[in-house]
Amino acid sequence: MSEAALPAASPRVALEGWRAHLAALGALALAILAIFHRDAAAMASIWWNSSTYEHCLVIVPIIAWLVWQRAPLLASIEPKSWPLPLLWIALGGLGWLVGEAAGVSLARQLGLVMMLQGAVAALLGRGVTAGLIFPLFYALFLVPAGDGLIPPLQTITAKLCMIFLAIVHVPATIDGVFIATPAGLFKVAEACSGAKFLVAMIALGALVANLGFRSWWRRAAFMVVCVAVPVLANGLRAFGTIWVAQYRGAQSAEGFDHVVYGWVFFGVVIALVLAMSWKFFDRPADAPPFDLARATDEAAKQRASWSLPVAAVAALALSLAAPAWEIVATGSAATSPDIALATPGGWTEVSDPKGTPWRPRFDGAHGPAAHYRNAQGQEVDVVLAYFDQQGDGRSLVGFGHGAVDPDGPWAWTADLPAPADGRAERLVGPGERIVVSFYDVGGMITGSPARVKIETLKRRLLGGPQYAAAYLVSADETKGGRAAIDHFLGGLGPIKPALDHMVGVR
C-alpha cells in the first residue's frame, strides 16, 4: 500500500487521542509510583542527601526538556496502545523482585524505572516510542548507581598517585589504599575515590553525545573520554594533595585539597572535556531532535494494537505481580528469642579490652558482642549480628555492611586464607587486626558474599527459613592475631552446630 493511501487522522481526532492516552499514562504512572512508593522515596532521598547523586536532581527537568523539545514533532504521530512493551514491564517487575529478594536497592529502583518506561511505550505506541527513545533511555540515569565503583576507584586512584609520585621522585610505598611517604601516611578514602565525578560525568556525557554527535563511533569515543579524564584528573588531584604535604606540610595539603575538591574541580574537568571535543561535534545545532520520517515508519510497522483501557489494566497488573509474589513467598518471619554467644573451654569473657575498639556494621541487626581472653594472653572480639528477615537496609552483605564500618577507624587491606565456610580479612587502622566471618542464611553457612546473595534470593523467591546471621571473630595482631582466632574457633567446634545453637535453632 502506498503512503498516499494511508488515511490521515484529522487534527481534532489526533488531539482527542493524545488527551486520552496522556491521561491514561498519567494515571498509570501515578499508580506505579504509589505501589512502589518506598523505592521512589528512597531514590529521591538519595538524590537530595548524597553528594554522589545530587546531579540526579537536574536529570528530571532535563528529561522534561527533552520531551518538550520533541512535542511538536510527536503531535503528528497518532498514539496507539500495543502489547510488546508489556514484556519490558514484566522484566522490570522481575528485576524489582530480585532486588527485593536479595536486598539490592539498585535492582528495585532500576526495576521501577523500567516499569515506568514500559508504561510509556505500551500506552503511546511504537512510533511515539521511537521519537522518545533517548529521553526514555536517559531516565536510567535517575537510578543512583555507582557505589560499586568506589572500591576499584580507590585502588586506581592510589596506583595513579604512586605513578605521579615516582615521576616527581617522592619515595612512597603502597598498602591497599594507604600510601606512606616521608610526609606521613595517607589514605585514599571513599570520598576521595572520584566516584561522584565519574557518575555525573557519564550522565552528562550521554546527554552531550546525543546533542552534539550523529556518528556512533564519535559518540563512543566521547564516552571513553568522559570516563578516562575524570579518573585521571582525580588521581592527579589526590597526588597533588600528597605532593603539597611533602613540601609544605599536612596543614597546607588539607587547604589545597579543600580548594580543588568539589564541584569547582568537576567544573574544570567538564570544561576540559568539552574543549577537547567541541571541534568534533558533527550534529548541527538546528537539527531536529529525532528523525520524524523514521518514527513515522515505526508507527506504520506496528501491527498489534490494544484498546487503551486493556493496555493500561495489563500494565498495572504486571506491575502488581512482583510485590504480590514476594508477599506470598516470604510469608511472616519467625523470630529467635534465644540468641546467645557460646564460650569455648579455656576462654573467659572480660570487660577491659585495650586498644582501638572494633565493631562491624550491620544496620538493623541485633545480637550480642563480647571480648574474650585465654590463659596464654590471647584476646578476641566476637560479634553475632542477627536478622529475623533481611530487607531494605537490613542485610548481611552490601555496601557499608560487614567487618569494616565505613564510618569507623578501620579499613580493609586484603583477603587472607579462609577457614572452611568462612572468610578472613586483614584490617588496618591505628594498628592491624584479623577478622574471620561466617554468614548463616537460614542454616546455610558460607563465607562468600556472593553465595549469601544467591541463597537469600532463593529463599525470598521460593520460600524457606528467612533468618540470617553473621558471626565474626577478630583479634589484634598484638593479642594473637590469626593464631588466637584459630584457637578460639577450634575450641568452639564445627561451626554449623555451634551457630545453630547460638541462634536458637534446635
pLDDT of residue 8: 47
Rounded to whole angstroms, the Cα distance separating 403 from 433 reads: 11
Cα 409 from chain centroid? 24
Q: How far apart are CA 264 and CA 130, in angstroms?
A: 37
For residues 148 and 104, the answer to whether their CB atoms sit within 8 Å is no
**28 Cβ neighbours under 8 A, 6+ residues apart:** 119, 123, 312, 315, 316
Between CA 325 and CA 332 the distance in angstroms is 13
18: cell is: 493524545
Spans in the chain with pLDDT lower than 70: 1-16, 248-263, 330-337, 352-356, 506
Cα–Cα distance for residue pair 22/28, rounded to 1 Å? 10
pLDDT score at 472 = 95
Among residues 334, 368, 310, 355, the alpha carbon closest in space to that of 463 is found at 334
- What amino acid is encoded at 319 in this protein? S
Cα–Cα distance measured from residue 272 to residue 114, given in angstroms and rounded to the nearest whole number: 34
Q: How, if at all, do strands 173-175 and 432-441 pair?
A: unpaired
pLDDT score of 261? 57
Query: Which residue from 303, 311, 305, 294 is spatially nearest to 132, judged by alpha carbons?
Result: 294
Choose among 308, 310, 230, 312: nearest CA to 265. Answer: 230
Please give the pLDDT value at position 20.
93
At residue 142's C-alpha, the angle toward residues 136 and 146, to 5°, is 125
Copy the grid coordinates of residue 447: 563465607
Q: Where are the domains of the chain?
A: 9-125+302-330, 148-194+208-280, 347-502
Identify whether the C-beta of residue 352 lies closer than 8 Å to the C-beta of residue 470. no
Q: pLDDT at position 95, please? A: 93
240 three-state secondary structure: helix
DSSP-based three-state secondary structure for 159: helix
Euclidean distance between CA atoms 478 and 465, whole angstroms: 40
C-alpha to C-alpha distance for 415 and 139, rounded to whole angstroms: 38
Q: What is the side-by-side order of every strand in the sheet holding 184-187?
A: 173-175, 178-181, 184-187
- How far is the CA of 233 from the CAs of 191, 193, 222, 414, in angstroms? 15, 11, 16, 26
Q: Which residues pair with 386 in a beta bridge?
A: 366, 469
Distance CA 234, CA 200 (A): 14
pLDDT for the residue numbered 245 = 77
> pTM above the 0.85 mark?
no
pLDDT at 251: 56
Phi, psi of 58 (to 5 degrees): -95, -10
336 residue type, one letter: S
Q: Which residue has the cell 568522559?
A: 226
| Cα end-to-end distance, the chain, whole Å | 75
CA triple 179-182-183, angle to 5 deg:
80
Residue 185, burial from CB neighbour count under 10 angstroms (0-12, 13-18, 19+): exposed
Contact status, residue 131 vs residue 124, Cβ threshold 8 Å = no
How many Cα neighbours within 13 Å face the side chain of 186?
Answer: 31
Cross-strand pairs, 469: 386, 440
Nearest to 225 by CA among 283, 188, 272, 191: 272
